[in-house]
Amino acid sequence: MKLCMIGTGYVGLVSGVCFSDLGNDVICVDKDNNKINNLKNGKIPIYEPGLEELVKKNIKNNRLNFSTNLKESVRKSDIIFICVGTPTKKNSNSADLSQVYSVGKEISKSINKFKIIITKSTVPVTTGDDLEKIISKKVNKRLFSVVSNPEFLREGEAIRDFIYPDRVVVGSNEEKSKKILRNLYSPLISKGAKYVSTNRRAAELIKYASNAFLATKITFINEIANLCEKTGIDVEDISIGIGLDNRIGSRFLRAGPAYGGSCFPKDTKAIVSTADKFKSNLSVIKSVIKSNQNRSDLLLKRLHSIIKKFNNKKVSFLGVTFKANTDDMRDSSSLKIIPYLSKRGAKIKYYDPTGSKKEFNNVKNVEYANSIQNCISGSDVIIIHTEWNDFKSINFRKLSKNKKLIIYDMRNIFSPTKIEKLGIKYFGIGR
C-alpha cells in the first residue's frame, strides 16, 4: 500500500520505517528541510536502538522516501497518517491540537481520490469528528474517511513494540476503511497481534485510558514503596507477589523516581481536561498526577536523610534521561534533582550513555564525565537514576577508593546485600 506519514518525530518516523519494512511504499513528510535531508542520507534525529539500520535498509530497497512536499506526497498516497505533536497547551492542561488541524487543512487541498486519513498522534476524544468537519469544508465526504489508530510504542523499545504489539487498535465509523486497515495490519495479525476494531471515539479514548492506567499502576507501586521504606519490606517482593496475579500483571510495577517522558505527564493531564469538558470527574487520575508531582519532593527529602550535608559532597549521577534506552530528557526527574543538589553546594558529575545534556550547561557545579569510571571515581555518593544495562555490572569497590561510599539506587538494579558486602552503604527505593 502507499502510505504517507506527516511528521517525522518519534511516532511518524518509527511507524513509517516499520510500515516500509513490512513491504509498503512509505513517504515520510516534514517541514524541516534539514531533518529530511539528513534522513535521506540515513541519519536519524532521535536515539532509538535498531532504527538507523532499518532506515538505511528500506531506503536501499526503495520503499522508504522522505519529502518536504506535503501536497505531492498526499496525492501519491492511499493512507495518510497524521503524526504531529500534541503538546500540552500553555497555561492549560489540555492538548494543543493546532498542528493536527493545520495538517488536516493542508491535506484537504490535495485530495484527488479516496484517502484514509488517520490520527496516529495522541488526540482527545472527538478530535476525529472535528478533523472530519475541517476536511469536508473542501472535500466531498465520499472521498475520505477519518480514522483513529493510536500508537503504543515505548521509547527505546519502539521497533519491537511495532512488530510484536500486544494489540492494534483501529477506530473507524466506516466499513470500507475498516477493511483496508485490517489488511494493512495483516502481517502483524498473522504473527499473533490482537486486532481491536472500534468506533473512532473509542479508539481515541483507548489510547488515553491506557497511558493513564499505566501511570496509575506506576504511581500505585511508588506509594506502596513509600510504605515499604517505613516498614522494612522490600517493594520488589511486593511487585512479584502481586504481579503474579494474572488480574494484576507484573509489568509496570517497578518502583522508581517520578514517572516522566513525553507521554504520561502530558496525557494524564489531557484526559482529565477532556473529562472536565464533559463534566466527568476522573478523580483517580487527578490524584495520580498529584502523587507523581509530589514524588520528586519526597525523593529529595530522602536524599537529605541519606546525604545529610550536601556542601562540597562529590555526587556522581548515573543516567539523566527519563528512562533507559532513550536520549529524551522531557519531564525527567533529574531536571529537579541535579539543580537541587547544585543549589545546596554539592559537586556533581554526571554520565549518560547518550552523552551530555544542554539542560545542565548553566547549572553551577555540574560537570559531564565521558565514562562511568570518570564519573564515579573519587565520589562520596553515587545516584543511579536510570536502569541502563551499562550500569548493572559496575564494580564499585574497584572504581571508588572512598571507604564511606554511599549508593542511592533509584531503580533497584542492585542487590542490597551484595553491595553492603563490599562495605558500601546502600539505599534503594522501597527497600
Return the active site residues: 263
264 counts as binding ligand UGA under rule CB under 6 A: yes
Pick one of 30, 151, 204, 223: the residue that binds ligand UGA (CB under 6 A): 151
Q: Which amino acid is at 190?
A: S
Among 101, 220, 252, 340, binds ligand UGA (CB under 6 A): 252
Which of 125, 205, 214, 335 touches ligand UGA by CB under 6 A?
214
- Supply the minimum distance, in Å, between the C-beta of residue 218 and ligand UGA: 4
- The DSSP-derived string for 149-193 is ----PPTTSHHHHHHS-SEEEEE-S-HHHHHHHHHHTHHHHTTT-
Q: Quick one: 264 or 351, whose CB is closer to ligand UGA?
A: 264
Beta-carbon-side half-sphere exposure of residue 422 (alpha carbons within 13 Å)? 22
Q: What is the DSSP letter of 95?
A: B
Residue 260 binds ligand UGA (CB under 6 A): yes
Question: Any contact of residue 153 with ligand UGA (CB under 6 A)?
Answer: yes
154 binds ligand UGA (CB under 6 A): yes
Q: Check residue 35 for interaction with ligand UGA (CB under 6 A).
A: no
Angstrom distances, CA of residue 276 to CA of 86, 263, 270: 18, 20, 10
CA-wise closest residue to 20 among 146, 263, 187: 187
Min. distance of Cβ 75 from ligand UGA in angstroms? 29
Among 12, 261, 428, 430, binds ligand UGA (CB under 6 A): 261
DSSP letter at 115 equals E
With vertex at residue 381, the alpha carbon angle to CA 380 and CA 386, rounded to the nearest 5 degrees, is 150
Residue 121 near residue 7 (C-beta atoms within 8 A): yes
- Which one of 153-161, 167-175, 375-383, 416-424 is the stretch in contact with ligand UGA (CB under 6 A)? 153-161
- Walk across the sheet containing 406-409 and list its strands: 366-368, 347-351, 314-318, 381-384, 406-409, 425-427
| Phi, psi dihedrals of residue 45, rounded to the nearest 5° | -85, -5
Does residue 152 touch ligand UGA according to CB under 6 A? yes
The window from 148-156, 269-277, 346-354, 399-407 that contacts ligand UGA (CB under 6 A) reads 148-156
Query: Is residue 208 near ligand UGA by the rule CB under 6 A?
Result: no
If 0-12 CB within 10 Å is exposed, 13-18 middle and 19+ buried, where does residue 57 land? middle
Let me know: does 75 contact 2? Beta carbons within 8 Å.
no
**Alpha helices, DSSP H, located in 344-408:** 372-376, 396-399
Rounded to a whole number of angstroms, the minimum distance from the CB of residue 71 to ligand UGA is 28
Q: Which of 205, 263 has the CB closer to ligand UGA?
A: 263
Q: How far is the CB of 179 from ligand UGA (least distance, A)?
A: 25
Task: Pick the closer one to ligand UGA by CB: 264 or 317.
Answer: 264
Q: Which string of x and - marks every residue 89-128 that binds ligand UGA (by CB under 6 A)?
A: ---------------------------------x------
| Residues 46-85 within binding reach of ligand UGA (CB under 6 A) | none
Closest to ligand UGA by CB, 111 vs 428, is 428
Question: What string of DSSP letters covers 69-91?
Answer: -HHHHHHH-SEEEE----PBPTT
Question: Rule CB under 6 A: which residues touch ligand UGA?
Answer: 122, 151-155, 211, 214, 218, 252-254, 256, 259-261, 263-264, 322-323
